[in-house]
Every structure is written in structure tokens, then in C-alpha cells.
Amino acid sequence: MSRRIAAKITGVAGYVPPHVVTNAELEKRVDTTDEWIRSRTGIRQRHYADPGMGTSHLGTEAAKKVLAATGTRPEEIEMIVVATVTPDMMFPATACLIQDRIGATKAWGFDLSAACSGFAYALTVGAQFVGAGTHKKVLVVGSDVMTSILDFKDRATCVLFGDGAGAVLLEPATSPAEGILDFAHDVDGSGGTNLYMPAGGSLHPASHETVDQRMHYVHQEGQQVFKYAVRRMADMACSILERNGFSSSDLALVVPHQANLRIIRAMQERLGVDDAKILINIDHYGNTTAATIPLGLVDAIEQKRVRKGDLILLISVGAGYTTGAILMRWAY
């Protein structure tokens, strides 16, 4: 059965806050070294949002840029899906805040929580509405201010993340030679507490205790997540290609979630493709959670690494655990 969705990306944009934090600067704040961070993760710098700047602000900038790039009027947008694990607040949804700020007066929308796979999930969800023929212009945003939930006493975790946002416009695909060919997602909830934020929800609402016990921060069992990510990224990449009758040599580019350069390299090795086919920008941005893939697409376009008709694979593993893979023919 074909899993093609008759939807295509017609524009991509990203936004990172201007404040750059290098590894050398982190050395002053955390018991770490530039050498450790670079050799263990591939990260050289990341961007931090200033106080008062929430996920909706970054997402709004990315959304405005994609509207401008595609010549789309805000009122043409019919739906906004925002992937994030760091919404400005529990409610209203970040999608509502972005809808208001960009003036998308005819849109409905909602937030989607799938951590680092959030953008891939949101893309599949948004694309289904376009593919079904009920929506013609859908905005998909991945935005996270991870610094709002980082514990700077946890050196193994805090050095990994940065803040950022990306947005794409989805429109109907008019020929099988363009758009989304297949998607694959799964969840393994047994890994839930290997990467999570324990408090702030209904189970552990904010209290003096939750603050004292540092429960409003990201908690990660790094090695567990690492092992899972290495295995699943590679397995998923191979299986989605295989079931569509492709091999890795057919790929023009893989845009993977940027969590750790070593995870990306392990997937690259399994796929047997050279560096030209793997988009890497973790050195500049660190792990921006829901924003890594759209920020990767922005770089791919700027570096002229994608052309119309190219076979592209987006792939991610994240908290949950969640996984996502999307195979597409680039449409512009």
C-alpha cells in the first residue's frame, strides 16, 4: 500500500536568537572543556534566547520568514502545527500565540509534543491534511527554547542544547515526482524516563520540593539514549529506503536530527554514504530539539545541496522514545 502523501514543502526558513555561546564561554560556567564537548558531541557553539524570549517568539520569526520567502499572505494559512517541548506556557498552545502574531486569521492549530522527533511528527500530521485535500496551505513550525529547562549543574546534558526555530510551508503536490513519498514513526514509551522533565505537569505540579529537587529541568541518561538513537536512526533509515525500493545511493541528502555527531556518523556508516550526503550543522547550533531538521533544511538550501527532484531523507530519534523518518522528493 502506498503511503505517499500528496503534499510538498514549498518553503523553509529558520531563526536562531543572536546570542552565541561558544564552548569556551561554557567553560566559565560549567565544569567542562571545549575539547570534551567537541570530541564527544561535535558541538562548537549554540544560540541562547535572551530572557523574555519564548518559543513562540522564535517560532513567529521563522514563520514570518517562510511567509515572506514564499510570497504567502498570513490569511492564506489554514492550519499551524507547532512541535515543541518548551511551550511558552502549558496553555494556550504556542500555535495560538504564533497564529495571532503573524495574523493568520483563518488558521486553526495546535502544539505537538514529540521532543526531538517533533518536527517529523508535525510534518506528517500537517501533510495529511494537505494530502487529504482539505487544506491548501499548512505551516509546520519546530521551535524550542531548551535553555529554559537546562540544569547548568548537569554538565553532561546542559552543554548539548541550544535554542532555535524552523518553519516550512506545505502545499498540495501535483505530481508523484514531488512531495512526501513515505513516512515512518514509532514510539517506545519504555524509554520515557531516560530523557524527561519530571515536574511541572499534573503528576508533579510546581512546588518548593520540585524546585529544590531540580525537577523542572531535562533529566537524561545519556548513554541509554545514545545507544537507542544509534540503533534506531540507522535501522529506520535503512528500512524506509528498502521498503520504497531505494538504496542509499539514490539519496541526494539525509537531514538527520542533530543530537550528537557520533550518532549521525554511526547512521552514516550503516548507510554507507559519503559526507556530501549528510547535513551536519550541530557544530553551529547544538541540539535545538524540534528545530534541528528545519534548520538543517535551511542550510541545505543555502549551501545548494538540494535540487528539485532530489530524494531527501529526514530522520530523528528523541525523548519518548519517539522516532521519525520522512522520505521525499524535493519540490523546488
Which positions touch ligand UT7 (CB under 6 A)? 32-33, 36, 40-41, 116, 155-156, 159, 195, 222-223, 225-226, 229, 259-260, 263, 287, 318
Q: Select the residue whose beta carbon is closest to ligand UT7 and give its number.
A: 222
Q: Which of 23, 260, 281, 287 is catalytic?
A: 287
298 burial (CB, 10 Å; 0-12 / 13-18 / 19+) is: buried
Q: Which of 257, 260, 281, 284 is catalytic?
A: 257
Q: Minimal distance in Å, beta carbon 204 to ligand UT7?
A: 21
- Is 116 noted as a catalytic residue in this protein? yes
Q: Which of 23, 57, 96, 116 is catalytic?
A: 116
What residue type is 122 in one-letter code? Answer: A
Q: Minimal distance in Å, beta carbon 214 to ligand UT7?
A: 16
Is the Cβ of residue 109 or residue 318 nearer to ligand UT7 in the bound state? 318
Instruction: Copy the grid coordinates of residue 164.
Output: 532555535
Is the Cβ of residue 19 or residue 155 nearer to ligand UT7 in the bound state? 155
Q: Minimal distance in Å, beta carbon 74 to ligand UT7?
A: 31
Is the Cβ of residue 136 or residue 231 nearer to ligand UT7 in the bound state? 231
Is the Cβ of residue 188 or residue 242 nearer to ligand UT7 in the bound state? 188
- Is 23 noted as a catalytic residue in this protein? no
Q: Minimal distance in Å, beta carbon 270 to ligand UT7?
A: 16
44 burial (CB, 10 Å; 0-12 / 13-18 / 19+) is: middle
Contact 127, 139 (CB under 8 A): no
3-class secondary structure for the chain? CCCCECEEEEEEEEECCCEEEEHHHHHHHCCCCHHHHHHHHCCCEEEECCCCCCHHHHHHHHHHHHHHHHCCCHHHCCEEEEECCCCCCCCCCHHHHHHHHHCCCCCEEEEECCHHHHHHHHHHHHHHHHHCCCCCCEEEEEEEEHHHHCCCCCHHHHCCECEEEEEEEEEECCCCCCEEEEEEEEECHHHHHHEECCCCCCCCCCCHHHHHCCCCCCEECHHHHHHHHHHHHHHHHHHHHHHCCCCHHHCCEEEECCCCHHHHHHHHHHHCCCHHHECCCHHHHCECHHHHHHHHHHHHHHCCCCCCCCEEEEEEEECCCEEEEEEEECCC
Q: Minimal distance in Å, beta carbon 189 to ligand UT7?
A: 15
- Is 287 noted as a catalytic residue in this protein? yes
Q: Minimal distance in Å, beta carbon 257 to ligand UT7?
A: 6
Is the Cβ of residue 124 or residue 220 nearer to ligand UT7 in the bound state? 220
Q: Minimal distance in Å, beta carbon 230 to ligand UT7?
A: 9
Is the Cβ of residue 217 or residue 330 nearer to ligand UT7 in the bound state? 217
What residue type is 54 in one-letter code? Answer: G
| Rounded Cα distance, 86 and 160, in Å | 16
Is the Cβ of residue 66 or residue 195 nearer to ligand UT7 in the bound state? 195
| Residues noted as catalytic | 116, 257, 287
